[in-house]
Amino acid sequence: MEVLFVSHKYPPTTGGMEKQSFELIQGMSQFMKVHMLVYQNKGSRLWFFLTLSYRIRKICRQNKGIALIHFNDGLMAAFCLFHRGYHHLIKTVTLHGLDVVFPNKMYQRYIVPRFNQFDSIITVSESTAEACIERGIDPHRITVIHNGVDHSLADFKPLLTRETYFSSRWGIDVSRKKILFMMGRPVKRKGFSWFVEQVFPHIRGEVLLLIAGPTPQNRMVEGLLRVLPLAIRKQIELLLGWPSDLHRLNMLLDDQVFARHVKHLGKIPFDDVQTLSMYSDVFLVPNIEEEGDMEGFGLVGLEAALSGAVVFAAASGGIQQAIRHGVNGILLPPGDAVIWAGALNAYFKKQSDVKQQLASAKSFTICQYGWRRMVYGYYRHFLSLRSIHQKSFQTDESVRIDQIHPAFQ
């Protein structure tokens, strides 16, 4: 079986969708013949989109064995819905969350329903699947395949002790401090400024909050966004992945009330992310509900759990399918500052009890989530679709064992 993967989310650009796209394509290439048409940050992105139809048809003409085309994000899939010339092939798409709930009336009315034209729709979480069904996508076309996580994170060992690391790397004395850590691009749904403003002042004791992640700033773009109507500005911010929470967050960090106790480290190497996750007392995923946006899957929480962190996360969107309450983290109601502050204060009071409860977090996460497991899900699903397409009427559960690659048996 030959498959063509199409995506505009791929390294060297970094992010959860880029990571998932890379792991899926590279993983699948070990078990079937893979062709890829991806944007790798070379040349114009617009030109990449405009030439997609021609390039897809050209690849299919040159490789007659291609039976299935997989579009690995909704934006790409929506753009390609209007293509002609390869309708005889099986077409599938992965939807990640924002590509389902994007708050544009025209998109919701005319594009989202057309996803039903795909032979199969794969969602990264049950929450994303529910959002699809709410918007009129046929539930019989939907299959949930969770994203994975890199199991090698569980074996990470810091080079320095906790006190030495914080002192030498960041100039921080942590001998009497509790460390909270959160990371990611500061978009509003991540809840960074909400946590700093609404929760952090109510946490008792000597506590330091560290934030890591890219902080792209462009005064020209920011100036343009500020003069646009709110609805249009929000759509552009979501489309660009713009750090919509950064302005508010910076205002808080400039306030003397927070400046001594909250530090933004900027974009840092992944080794530092792992070390901070392991050495911090709590890793935070404080997402809030934001209309027209959602967290499709909580990959950052999974990575933290594998690094040995105690994860406190919002029960929002796909985070609920990544973090299981009391197993590999603690789930709290999104946007409820009283409950968040109370839960964190209670944890610091009986810290050892919670750590003991979550002792199996690493093994549970390894067992339930992995890139290999994700690839296996796609592989079985693609085989099932091919069987149906060939009118053999086999279901996903009845794929013959001799069709499964030996590495998966």
With cut-offs at 50, 70 and 90, classify the pLDDT of residue 15: confident
Higher pLDDT pick, 8 / 241? 8
Query: What's the whole-model pTM score?
Result: 0.88
- 394, pLDDT greater than 60: no
Supply the mean pLDDT for the chain: 89
pLDDT in tens, 287-303: 999 999 999 998 999 99
End-to-end CA distance of the chain: 18
**If one looks up domain 2-148+370-408 in CATH, what number appears?**
3.40.50.2000
Q: Specify whether the CB–CB gap between 22 and 101 falls below 8 A.
A: no
Supply the pLDDT for residue 362: 87
Could you give the CA distance from residue 17 to residue 4 in angstroms, rounded to a whole number?
Answer: 18
Which residues belong to CATH 3.40.50.2000 in the chain? 2-148+370-408, 151-367
Look at the domain 151-367 and name its fold.
Rossmann fold (3.40.50)
Distance CA(283)–CA(273), nearest Å, equals 11
> Average pLDDT, stretch 305-329?
93
For residue range 149-200, list pLDDT tens digits in order: 999 999 999 989 999 999 999 999 998 899 999 999 999 999 999 999 999 9
Percent of the chain with pLDDT over 70: 93
CA distance 121 to 332: 30
Task: Give 124-153 pLDDT, tens digit per residue.
Answer: 999 999 999 999 999 999 999 999 999 999
Per-residue pLDDT band at 391 (split at 50, 70, 90): low
In b/e form, how buried is each residue of 67-87, taking b as 16+ CB within 10 angstroms? bbbbbbbbbbbbbbeeeeebe
The pLDDT > 90 percentage for the chain reads 70
Q: Residue 408's pLDDT is what?
A: 44
Query: What pLDDT, on a 0 to 100 scale, did the predictor assign at position 392?
Result: 45
Catalogue the long-range contacts made by 30-33 (C-beta closer than 8 Å, 24 or more residues apart): 30/407, 31/375, 31/379, 31/405, 31/407, 31/408, 32/1, 32/2, 32/3, 32/379, 32/382, 32/405, 33/1, 33/2, 33/3, 33/65
Residue with tokens 């100039």: 171
Give me the pLDDT at residue 207, please: 95
pLDDT at 388: 83
pLDDT band at 216 (very low <50, low <70, confident <90, very high): confident
pLDDT tens-place string over residues 97-125: 999 999 999 999 999 999 999 999 999 99
Q: What is the pLDDT of residues 342-371, one digit of tens each?
A: 999 999 988 766 666 666 888 899 999 999
pLDDT tens-place string over residues 39-90: 998 888 889 999 999 999 999 999 999 999 999 989 889 889 889 888 889 9
The predicted pLDDT at position 316 comes to 96
3-state secondary structure the chain: CEEEEEECCCCCCCCHHHHHHHHHHHHHCCCCEEEEEECCCCCCHHHHHHCHHHHHHHHHHHCCCEEEEEECCHHHHHHHCCCCCCCCCEEEEEECCHHHHCCCHHHHHHHHHHHHHCCEEEECCHHHHHHHHHCCCCHHHEEECCCCCCHHHHHCCCCCCHHHHHHHHHCCCCCCCEEEEEECCCCHHHCHHHHHHHHHHHCCCCEEEEEECCCCCCHHHHHHHHHCCHHHHHHHHHHHCCCCCHHHHHHHHHCHHHHCCEEECCCCCHHHHHHHHHHCCEEEECCCCCCCCCCCCCHHHHHHHHCCCCEEEECCCCHHHHCCECCCEEEECCCCHHHHHHHHHHHHHCHHHHHHHCCCHHHHHHHHCCHHHHHHHHHHHHHHHHHHHCCCCCCHHHCCHHHCCHHHC
What is the structure's pLDDT at 355? 67
Supply the pLDDT for residue 396.
42
